Amino acid sequence: MQSENESKNGGTKKRRSLSAAEGIRTFAAAVGTTAVLMLTVCGVFDLYLSQENGPPSVYAASFAGTASEQATRTVQLGGDVFGIRLFSDGVIVAALSDIYTDGAVCCPAKSAGIEAGDYVLSANGVPVETNAALADVLSTGSSVELTLRRGEETYDTTLTPVLASGVYKAGMWIRDSAAGIGTVTFYSGDGTRFAALGHGICDADTKEVLEIRSGEPAEITICGIQPGRAGAPGRLRGYFTDSDSLGVLVQNSEIGIYGSLTEKHSGQTVEVLERGAVHTGPVQIAATIDAGGVQLFDAVLERVSGDAQQETKTLVVHVTDPALLAETGGIVQGMSGCPILQDGKLAGAVTHVFVDDPTRGYGIFAETMLEQIA
């Protein structure tokens, strides 16, 4: 816990010590499992969704707590880095690809009316949840009756793979899972639930918020930092510390991810600042960039907007702390969700980094993350 008389000058780091029992702490760089029929490759689910050039559900409602808790609007402060394991709700079509056969070029998936961003739900009437399950069906070369979801609608189509280089191919890249790194913004007052990222987890190819079947927070260890620079945002690097889950992810929304914890978190209680009280001026960012745990770094809010159409970009934050700038160059991937503190209260969370200036980025109001998601 940081005492009030500790120095803020010269970018001095202010630390909160967190034990493993206090919940989510650590994890590795964003990596997703991608496959094209009969071929598995490495891909990315971009958890730090947007990099910018230039300046509610039942669960979310229950997350806010009891009437008395809502009146005081207090939460436990986050800043912990954690890992994310995800499984999509259906096999997502990440992209289409032409197939070169003897004397012809075709794309069976495109011919079947399939588009990138669609979710394959079943094949020949049997639900498919993994790349392997879908690949097994398509590898026979027979026509397959598929049921897919596009947005809110489902549709049926027939896909006929083609033989190329001795293998039957469908002409589509598919994904069924992902993993990544992010930061917890806050925990519920009783320490059983958490909110993180301040934006949705999106597929790197389609840029759409991933519809998840299941997911879990995971413990990681940070092993390095790739500093950001103009034109090349950096990232936190790390690895899974333990295969055990720390809880369950229950929601992936436009304004963040929400989950529950197996063990209660116990940390510093802070009041959530109302939107109207958030103002330009000095702030602190709570972040984890090494094994030292959560630290507070100086920054400045340069803009505060009430634009409800840009909820994840209502704040513009500028990192000024020499220590953070020296280590990361500013805001890096993995810092999505870092709490922004103003006047000792939780004002918001970091959501994006400016590609041309990694010392600056966007943020979201903490109050927005608390509210029911429409």
One of 177, 188, 253, 336 is an active-site residue; which one?
A: 336
Residues 6+ apart with CB under 8 A from 8: 14, 298
Closest CA to 92 of 254, 182, 246, 201: 201
306, 312, 313, 368 from 309: Cα distances, Å: 9, 9, 9, 12
DSSP 8-state symbol, 232: B
199 is catalytic: yes
Backbone phi, psi, residue 77, to 5°: -65, 140
Measured distance CA(162)–CA(158) in Å, rounded: 13
Closest by CA to 348, choosing from 321, 311, 320, 323, is 311
- Looking at 199, 265, 318, 352, which residue is catalytic? 199
Give the residue from 96, 88, 250 showing the smallest Cα distance to 173.
96
DSSP 228: -
Give me 156's structure tokens. 């049926």
Catalytic residues: 199, 321, 336
